[in-house]
């Protein structure tokens, strides 16, 4: 498979063991192939493989064709790929890339590989593409690095909060946010790898990054759905039976469902991650599902979870503001804050993938980069900075003095006489005792609200 050879063909075992006649034809150029569609420029010799009357393989077998390229380093506005000759009814045809995967060699002096699932005429072609300018590409790369760095910084602080403050991590809602942080952490790591590692072709590292990114995206939406369900049970379903092993069940769904989706996709279509999802930024390409796999395994599950999340939030808002149930159970402030934060996070986290659909546009590409890479930092703002209880934990830990305004009521100072002061004290005591008898949602300070 060295560059000294111009073409090599590896047939599957079922073909080599069959009694069928095998023939090979090599064309020096593409003059014998009259294209009806301008797909690309042939960048190698054309190899024709014929095995009896066979055109496709059984049991998912493939054929590997190694071709020596005429141009090894094309311009930025062109990319190398594998194609086969698709015949039309009138005897002409065109070059098609369906069913073929281009695998670039990772070692110098070794030929690249064209892996196809059928038999016909094969060649390597250069296909044109419209890409962003180098200036926009560099800017998007810098924004990605800054956004991912901020996200990793915020997630590390959230995890540090969980480690240092036991009361914080004992709250069930905070455990859910912590699991969501892990999913966002994996997304940020994948984005950083995509920025710094240049994947020129389909290989095992590229596939692993694509699988991890796919899995972590689905897991993050699953955990946001869990947060919405918990808020719904607290605020809408007043009389509910306590569920045993809540965190275990939530983890089984949020970490297990994405694993099932990715596993089914790999079992049905083993090379589903072979196509590089690069849009118009050549240096930011990575292996990711495309075509029907992208819609069924990525966009469809995300859309269903977004729909369920927003439906639950609408039900929560209607229940809270219509029946005033927020005054009847003590932890309703925490649950409402959890619902509001989960709704806002779903809105923020859903935006990147909407912009991702239109990432071929430069404006959408900038929005996608800014929103997708800052998810962890947004999570830090709303969970740590925006929560007064958590802020107080850190201020007490750092021994920073807090200045609070103590409210003064008119009942304390009603008269300057001794009798007036005595009556004021009695009122104060009775007020404190009455306050202690109130439910937690009315007697407690407003620390649990999101501010």
For residues 201 and 169, membership in a common domain is answered with: yes
Burial 392-431 (b: 16+ CB within 10 A, else e): ebbeeeeeeeeeeeeeeeeeeeeeeeeeeeeebeeeeeee
Residues in the chain: 451
The CATH number of residue 100's host domain is 2.60.220.50
For residues 124 and 140, membership in a common domain is answered with: no
**Residue 450 included in any domain:** no
**Residue 412 included in any domain:** no
- Of 111, 128, 145, the residue that ends a domain is 128
DSSP state of 54: B
Give per-10-residue mean pLDDT for the chain (451 aa): 76 84 88 80 90 81 89 82 86 86 78 88 86 85 93 95 92 91 94 84 82 94 89 76 85 96 91 66 70 87 88 78 53 63 65 72 84 88 88 87 46 39 44 40 35 33
For residues 105 and 188, membership in a common domain is answered with: no
Distance CA(126)–CA(40), nearest Å, equals 5
The CATH number of residue 348's host domain is 1.20.1070.10
> Domain limits at 283?
134-397
- 160-176 pLDDT, tens digit per residue, is 999 999 999 999 889 99
Nearest CA among 273, 294, 306 for reference residue 357 = 294
* Chain centroid, CA 278 distance in Å: 15
pTM above 0.75, yes or no: no
Residues near 136 by beta carbon (within 8 Å), at least 6 away in sequence: 362, 365
Per the structure, the count of domains in the chain is 2
For residues 96 and 185, membership in a common domain is answered with: no
For residues 117 and 193, membership in a common domain is answered with: no
- Of 100, 128, 156, the residue that ends a domain is 128
For residues 238 and 386, membership in a common domain is answered with: yes
pLDDT value at residue 136: 87
For residues 111 and 154, membership in a common domain is answered with: no
**Residue 434 included in any domain:** no
- 177-209 pLDDT, tens digit per residue, is 999 999 999 999 998 998 888 776 667 888 899
**Residue 429 included in any domain:** no
- Whether the CB-CB separation of 176 and 250 falls below 8 Å is answered with yes
26's enclosing H/E stretch is strand 22-27
For residues 21 and 73, membership in a common domain is answered with: yes
For residues 92 and 194, membership in a common domain is answered with: no
* Chain centroid, CA 338 distance in Å: 22
For residues 26 and 60, membership in a common domain is answered with: yes
Residues near 238 by beta carbon (within 8 Å), at least 6 away in sequence: 325, 328, 329
- Of 105, 128, 151, the residue that ends a domain is 128
**Residue 359 included in any domain:** yes
**Residue 313 included in any domain:** yes
């Amino acid at each position: 498979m060295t560059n000294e050879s111009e073409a090599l063909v590896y047939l599957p075992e079922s073909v080599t063991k069959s009694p069928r006649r095998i023939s090979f034809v090599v064309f020096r150029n593409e003059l014998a192939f009259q294209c009806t569609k301008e797909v690309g420029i042939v960048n190698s010799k054309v190899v024709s493989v014929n095995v009896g009357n066979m055109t496709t393989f059984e049991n998912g077998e493939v054929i590997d064709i190694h071709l020596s390229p005429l141009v090894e380093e094309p311009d930025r506005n062109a990319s190398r790929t594998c194609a086969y000759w698709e015949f039309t009814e009138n005897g002409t045809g065109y070059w098609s890339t369906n069913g073929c995967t281009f695998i670039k060699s990772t070692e110098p002096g070794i030929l690249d590989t064209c892996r196809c699932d059928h038999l016909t005429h094969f060649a390597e072609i250069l296909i044109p593409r419209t890409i962003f300018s180098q200036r926009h590409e560099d800017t998007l790369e810098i924004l990605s690095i800054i956004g991912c760095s901020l996200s990793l910084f915020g997630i590390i602080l959230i995890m540090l909060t969980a480690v240092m403050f036991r009361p914080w991590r004992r709250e069930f809602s905070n455990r859910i946010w912590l699991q969501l942080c892990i999913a966002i952490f994996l997304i940020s790591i994948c984005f950083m790898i995509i920025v710094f590692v240049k994947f020129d072709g389909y290989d095992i590292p590229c596939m692993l990054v694509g699988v991890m990114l796919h899995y972590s995206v689905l897991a993050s939406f699953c955990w946001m759905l869990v947060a919405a369900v918990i808020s719904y049970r607290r605020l809408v379903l007043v009389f509910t039976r306590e569920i045993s092993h809540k965190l275990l069940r939530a983890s089984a769904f949020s970490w297990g469902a994405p694993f099932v989706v990715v596993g089914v996709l790999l079992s049905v279509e083993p090379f589903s991650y072979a196509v590089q999802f690069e849009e118009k930024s050549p240096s930011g390409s990575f292996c990711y599902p495309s075509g029907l796999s992208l819609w069924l395994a990525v966009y469809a599950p995300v859309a269903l979870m977004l729909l369920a999340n927003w439906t639950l939030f609408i039900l929560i808002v209607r229940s809270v503001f219509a029946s005033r149930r927020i005054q009847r159970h003590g932890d309703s402030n925490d649950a409402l804050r959890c619902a509001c934060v989960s709704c806002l996070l779903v809105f923020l986290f859903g935006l990147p993938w909407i912009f991702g659909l239109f990432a071929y546009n430069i404006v959408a590409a900038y929005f996608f980069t800014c929103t997708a890479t800052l998810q962890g930092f947004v999570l830090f703002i709303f969970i740590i900075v925006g929560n007064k209880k958590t802020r107080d934990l850190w201020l007490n830990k750092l021994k920073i003095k807090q200045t609070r305004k103590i409210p003064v009521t008119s009942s304390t100072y009603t008269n300057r006489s001794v009798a007036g002061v005595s009556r004021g004290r009695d009122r104060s005591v009775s007020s404190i005792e009455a306050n202690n008898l109130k439910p937690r949602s009315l007697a407690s300070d407003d620390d649990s609200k999101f501010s």
